[in-house]
Amino acid sequence: MNLGKHIPNYITLGNLFAGSVAVIFAVEGDFKTAAIFVLIGIIFDFFDGFTARLMGVTGELGKQLDSLADMVTSGVVPGVVMFKLIQSNLIADNLLEVKANQILDVPLIGLILTMAACLRLARFNLDARQTDSFIGLPTPAMSLFVISLPLIQMNTDIVFVKDLISNNYFLIALTWVLSFLMNAEMPLFSLKFKEYSLKNNYIKYFFLLASVILLVTLNFLAVPLIIMLLQYRN
């Protein structure tokens, strides 16, 4: 058995492990640690495909394994985070005593993200059009968007932004919008490189530079802005 050819799959399992740990911390409400492990998982997700292409060992097993790992890191985690955000808003609004049944019923809406991510990943595996570009919002981008929300809420001084994230109507609407975007027939900007020349990839390099500048200047608030920039079509 040639273990070397399975190196990309081991990297994919690293994504799954990181995502599983992120789920645990998200359930406990430790969103910062959950975000760290989501980011680690997404890094693994990038390098498993990169390594597979570099080694010339791409195959159906790796493709399916990649989606299964993404389902946890970029499907279950954001669903749990949205559940916890909606639930904490209900508690903060003192609705727990008045409408105790809603403390579970309403937050379950957040898990629509998990179902929509599952649908997208299944469709992605069957869609030959998305080899070099994306149709619909990628699940890792959605996951980063959602996991950034509690971090923004804890670290921003902008009252409007804090109030927005504390509003369940906004969170529920955002859940539906992100679920739609993941499965919409919309060609979106992709950072996939066929080659690395500046001439043919200047827009991608500009996007990366702009993302770094936004992260340095705006901190966590930059994450949803960067994800929204992804809506640019090639």
pLDDT digits (tens, 9 = 90+) for 36-78: 999 999 999 888 876 766 776 677 787 888 899 999 999 999 9
Give dist(CA 227, CA 223) in Å, integer: 6
pLDDT for residue 100 is more than 70: no
Outline where DSSP puts E strands in 1-131: none
* Structural domains of the chain in order of their starting residue, each with its CATH number: 3-229 (1.20.120)
**What is the 8-class DSSP label of residue 58?**
-
- pLDDT (0 to 100) of residue 2: 58
% pLDDT > 70, the chain: 82
Q: What value does the mean pLDDT take over residues 140-163?
A: 94
- Tokens at 1, concatenated: 């058995």
Q: Residues 14-32: pLDDT tens digits?
A: 999 999 999 999 999 999 9
- pLDDT (0 to 100) of residue 122: 92
Residue 44 neighbours by CB distance under 10 Å: 22
Per the CB < 8 A criterion, the answer to whether 175 and 82 are in contact is: yes
Cα 234 to its chain centre, rounded Å, is 21
- Tokens at 3, concatenated: 């273990």
Q: Contacts by 200-207 with C-beta closer than 8 Å and gap 24+?
A: 203/234
Q: What value does the mean pLDDT take over residues 75-97?
A: 86
